Homo-oligomer: A and B are copies of this chain.
């Protein structure tokens, strides 16, 4: 049995307390498996006395996380404070400079300063591990750094935000509106009081920026991601998707294209008969397409105290085993600049929902505008008027708004946008068109 691996934990919120409980529950077994005990020696948090469901009185207490980060008695600094500037950043930097390994769940910090922190870790010969930063219960960072390294990755995509997936799943299962479900999610504590960061797709983009770097060997470039949220998804879209054999998910997608890396976050149609379509509620998933491994899908808890604590623990275990991999696989010196693909050149199929005046000739105009841009249609469905009660079977009324939903064959984003703009100019649409990309799985 070698010397214990000594941890200093900054941040004792749900994840930090979960980690304390995990090491209470499994410390002895882990010590046997690793031939090395993992021991928490010091902690830091906002409030010392707060009830956390775990016993911290045996750990040395630090008011200042930065002081904890450089304490001579710790081997690993575990950063679970969150926040992309200020103390968390200073503490992680101080730890790395002091030659401490760092384990963090802080996606915002890494999305903003990941490359600089990785460079610090490399120059000090220590680990900067962040499995818990993306899809806590899914070992996607480890899969990219290790299991899938033999591959050239062609695409990585997934459901990376539990709040959005919960809202979309509930809208579908209960036939309720976005606003209604969001309000309930906020009341239940599944969504923040200001939900913009989640439902606007930004949290997904933070995570995607890290996955993109790992998958393609490029610098972290959160600001180069095209981001759309789920705010505009209506019950009409969900029902039409179902009719047409699809389900709507907020996906983060990054893929290689001829013009660069296409990284995008947006509501996406996925085939109803696919494993990813069955990833429901707060569950997350990540799919990775490699040239040798083929397609691999990982499904698991996206967040939560215990799954996230387990991810942090797995990072610590790697350190205990002496495994230190460059944070972004290759040295930060060898990371390529993120070359952003032109989204206009995105190739794929589209779902379009148009609210139009139900008058003779409307369909002909729509079809002509699509044809003018060489967009060919796989299916066209004219649905009964919105706002009628489900099951009333009420057909559209001439002169009043009707819903037309289209699925296109593969085309380009530029062609779609041009066609929809032309249709809007024709004055047949009574609302802005809804356009949702279809992802081939």
Contact = CB atoms under 8 A, between A and B. Distances in A.
A235 to B, nearest CB: 20
A35 to B, nearest CB: 9
Interface in A132-154: 137-139, 142-143, 146-152
A300 to B, nearest CB: 4
A299 B275 contact: yes
A77 B62 CA distance: 50
Nearest to A317: B149
Contacts of A415: none
Could you say how many copies of this chain the assembly holds? 2
B32 A314 contact: no
A146 B301 contact: no
Contacts of A279: 275
B278 A146 contact: no
Given A32-B334, A300-B295, A290 B310 contact: yes
A169 to B, nearest CB: 11
A296 B139 CA distance: 9
Interface string A297-321: 1111100101101110110011001
Interface string A250-279: 000000000000000000000001111111
Contacts of A300: 293-297
Contact of A151 (B26, B285, B325): B26
Interface string A55-96: 000000000000000000000000000000000000000000
A146 B317 contact: yes
A297 B299 contact: yes
B292 A151 contact: no
Contacts of A318: 146
Contact of A274 (B278, B295, B313, B329): B278
A278 B323 CA distance: 36
Nearest to A290: B310
A32 B330 contact: yes
A329 B146 CA distance: 18
A287 to B, nearest CB: 8
Interface string A23-38: 0011001101100000
A185 interface: no
A391 interface: no
A322 interface: yes
Given A22-B150, A149-B314, 13 more contacts: A25-B152, A25-B291, A26-B152, A26-B292, A138-B296, A139-B146, A146-B314, A277-B278, A292-B307, A292-B310, A293-B306, A293-B310, A294-B307
28 contacts: A18-B292, A25-B292, A26-B151, A30-B150, A32-B330, A33-B149, A139-B143, A142-B146, A146-B314, A149-B314, A149-B317, A150-B310, A150-B317, A275-B275, A275-B279, A275-B285, A278-B278, A290-B310, A292-B310, A292-B313, A293-B310, A294-B301, A296-B298, A296-B300, A298-B299, A299-B299, A321-B325, A323-B323
